[in-house]
Every structure is written in C-alpha cells, then in structure tokens.
Amino acid sequence: MVAPAVSPESSPDSPDSSGIPEPPGKPDRPPRWHVLVRTLAAAAAGVLLYLSGPPRTLWWLAPIAFAVLGWVLAGRRARAGFGYALCFGLGYLVPLLAWTGEFVGLVAWLPLALAEAVLVALSGAAIAVATVLPAWPVWAALLWVAGEALRSVFPFGGFPWGNIAFTQPEGSYLPLAAVGGTPLIALAVTLTGFGLAALARRLVRRELGVRRLVTPVLATVVPVAAAFGALPLVGTDANDGEATVAVVQGNVPRAGLDFNAQRRAVLDNHVARTVRLADDIAAGREPQPDLVIWPENSSDIDPFRNPDAYAGIERAAKAVKAPIAVGSVLVGDDGLPRNTMLLWDPERGPVNQYTKRQLQPFGETMPFRSFFRLFTSTVDRAGRFVPGDKATIFDMAGARIGLATCYEVAFDGVVRDSARGSNLLAVPTNNATFGYTEMTYQQLAMDRVRAVEHGREVAVAATSGVSAFVRPDGSVSRQTGLFTDAALVERVPLRSTTTLSDRLGSSTEWVLTILGLGALAAAVVVRRRRPVSK
C-alpha cells in the first residue's frame, strides 16, 4: 500500500493548491525574512518538543511542536526541509542530551546532538517532499516513524533516547503503547500535530469547504480518539499473583564523575542500607520482601575476585532473608569488564547472572576513541565494557524478573526480549555520574512507557535516585529523591498477560516505515511535475 501518485493540481489536500494554476518553470526565491522566520519557528518548535518531556508534564506541547514543524515544511523543497528540520532537531536535542556532557564534556554532548539532529533533518527532507500528496499529514507522520526507526539503529548501535513516545508518560497518548509500542505513540503525536498544521493552512487560506477540511480534521482528532479507545487494553490486574518487592538506593558519597573512584563506598552503602531495611523488617516497620533489587553498579567491585565484596553482599542477603539482584562489574578472562546483574540467593550465593547487552556510547564505550582523543583526553574516562548476548529471567521467590539495565530501557527490542516470559520488570540503573541533570527523569519516563507497553509492574532501582515503582498503567506509586539513601517496599502485581504490542513486536514499526517510504516514492514522482517553494 502506497500513497496514490495523483496530480497535485487535482488534489484537494495538496498543501499549496489554491485552484490557481502554477506558472511554468522554477518558483521565485522567497524573501530572506521568510526564510529567517521559518528557521526561527522550526528551532522554537524543537524547544517546545523538549519542554514537553520530563521532568515537566507539558506533554501537550509535543503535538503543537509538530504543528509548527508541519507548517514550516509544507510545500518546501527537500533541501529546505532538511535545513528547517535540522534547526528543529537542534532545538530539541541540544537541551535534551545536555546530560551526556557531564561524563566526557562537550566532545560527547554537542557532536552527539548534532549527529542526531542530522538524522532528524533527513526525516524533515522526506516530510517536505511528501507534503505534495493528498492527506499529507498521514504520510508525514509515517515518515517521522521511519526516521525514529533509523535513529534506533544508527549511529553507534542506535540512540533512541529522543523518541517522541518518551515525552508522553503523562499524556493521553500513553495507552497506545499497549497496542503498538513506541512507534504507534510517535505516529499519533505527529499525526495530530501535522493535522493541526494542515487545518491551520486551510483556515488561513479560507478554504472552508467540507472536502477541504475533512482530512486535516480527521488527522487531528482520530489519534486522540484512538488513544482513549485503547484505555481498556491497559491492564493492571494481578493475573499471575503478587510479590512484595524491595528496591534499595544506597546512594553515593558524592555526585558526579568521582563516582567511579568511590566503588567500595557505594557497595558499603548498599550493604548498610539493606541491613537497615532488615532491622526495620524485624521491628515490624516494613513487611518482609520476597525479593530485593539493587541498582546497576551497586557493586562495581567484582565479588568473585574480591572476598570482602562477596562477604558484604552475602551478609546483606542473609540479613534481609531474600534473594537480591545485585548490580556488579565482573572482569572476564580477557581482562575487560562486563556490566552484570547477579542473582544472589541468601543460602546459595550467586546462582544466575545477566550481562547488559546494549551499552551506552560515551559512557561504557567510546566510539571513535582514537579520533576524539585528538581533541580531549577526557574520552578515556569512558569504559571498555563487553556486551552480553542474551536476555535472562531471574526466578526470585516465584516471581520471574525480566531485566533491562539502565540505558537498555530506551531500546524497544531489548526490553521486549526481557519482558518475554517475565511477570515483573526490573530496571537497575546508575545515574550518579550524571549528577542533578534531567537524565534520571527522562529515563523514568521510559520506564513508565515500558510498563504500559508490556503490561508489567516496573521496579526501578537507582544508585542515587530516582528509584520508583511504576504500575502497569504507567503511573508511579512511590519514588525516591535524588542523592539520598532509601529503601522502598511495596506489594506489586505479577502479570503474565501478553499485550497486543508484544504480539505484534517489531512488525508495527516495519509496516509503518514501509508505508512511509512508499509514500515518499510516490511523492518524488509527483514533485517532478510541479515546482515547489524553497
């Protein structure tokens, strides 16, 4: 199925159609102030998109941002679309990714933001071309989804941190995650925005006939109606039992890069906080947990190589009388580290392990390390971690725990694999190196989207915050603050239901992407017959 390659002169939905035939030849170059206004509008729209996301709850700014972008791109050439969308991408991604500079400085933050903005610009060029088609908001939204699919795999193994779905944990579009995952949310948000843009263009031009307005009105309204229609598909019942879960946030001595030099203190903090939790349980102030989740890097000291670390974890497990998922760094025979979660039984010790599969560039790994070292030596602060190769379910007191460690929660396929066969999701994370930036709140938004997408309670354990319990409907029942020690204990539902999103898997994204690319091919044919604006 592709968009019909009709002549734009006969199309009631063509963005620049006015019933007046276009003169032959190339159109006049627009005044420079027009270009400047559109450039500023595109950049401002990107900032609006950034402001729509966490820790703010201004989710409704996202479709408005795309309405502005759609207005700017409609009827433009591909080259102009690329430039305007580049400004949009920079307005969004430069502030969104500021936290990456906390670890290795500007050499990571600005090049990464620029690289991602260039990929956004490619989407903008394609969208500009597609606006010549009837019902262009539909094709534009599909092409945005195709762009997100590209950014999820390229560069550096993909970087989907800026996906539109992650701006929507408070939004009306969130139930769509249970139907089609993050791609469907992106489609709905962008379709609403582009529909608003098309509607505004019609109204400004006084094109008020029903035939002229029906497509933009439907594009604006249908995604919102679909989101409300998906509400019954968001389940919260405990259809596989319940479990009492504790998440321990031991905190770090100091925020920032010194975290990696404080490994023993961090382990001691988590042991001590777990022992304090055991004291609270013995005193009746907290219920006995069935299982405990520690954060990523809670034991950066390899317990198999360090008897003191082993003894400390064992003491904590015996004190709390429950199995603990321990975030550790194991050193392989090759001398390289692995970011590994260990399942630590209070009686048998370590009985299972999961190694993080999707490593964070500019943190756990450093792409093009030799090249970037020409500009700054801070690149060598980034690690040389080795990724794992498979998902692992931890069987903890009857609960089947699927694990997505920190950065992995941004990746659809990684979390989908982890959710398969589980009845509870855990996200152990370490955000201490990123200080008081928005990174931890952006990641919590991803946890909330994943809860709805897979129909699971999500237990988030962070070294320094924010730790939380996220219900299967995406709401947060309890959470900690930043850079404080805490232990949260909660009775949570275990759910084995497979959502429609899980059943469809990656096919949703593939189908939407193929439809978008088919529309782009049709638009290229149409554009060859018609001059367009610059």
Asked if 331 and 337 touch (Cβ cutoff 8 Å), the reply is: yes
Question: Per DSSP, which regions of 193-286 are E strands?
Answer: 242-249
Alpha-carbon gap, residue 148 to 489, rounded angstroms: 37
Alpha-carbon gap, residue 17 to 212, rounded angstroms: 10
DSSP string, 107-124: HHHHHHHHHHHHHHHHHH
Asked if 103 and 233 touch (Cβ cutoff 8 Å), the reply is: no
Tell the burial category of 520 from Cβ atoms under 10 Å away from its Cβ (0-12, 13-18, 19+): buried
Residue 493 CB: number of other CB atoms within 10 A?
20
The half-sphere exposure of 307 on its side-chain side, counting CA atoms within 13 A, is: 0
Q: Which residues pair with 533 in a beta bridge?
A: 76
Helix 177-204 vs helix 136-151: crossing angle, to nearest 10:
130
Alpha-carbon gap, residue 435 to 256, rounded angstroms: 5
Residue type at position 444: L
Alpha-carbon gap, residue 123 to 129, rounded angstroms: 10
> In terms of Cα–Cα distance, which of 192, 184, 193 is closest to 66?
193
DSSP letter for 151, please.
H
> In terms of Cα–Cα distance, which of 267, 331, 330 is closest to 299?
267
Alpha-carbon gap, residue 443 to 158, rounded angstroms: 16
Strand pairing report for 324-331 and 291-293: parallel
Alpha-carbon gap, residue 481 to 496, rounded angstroms: 30
3-state secondary structure (DSSP) of residue 29:
coil
Asked if 473 and 453 touch (Cβ cutoff 8 Å), the reply is: no
Active site residues per annotation:
296, 356, 406
Q: What share of the chain is helix, strand, coil (3-state, %, to 5)?
A: 50, 15, 35
Alpha-carbon gap, residue 330 to 146, rounded angstroms: 38
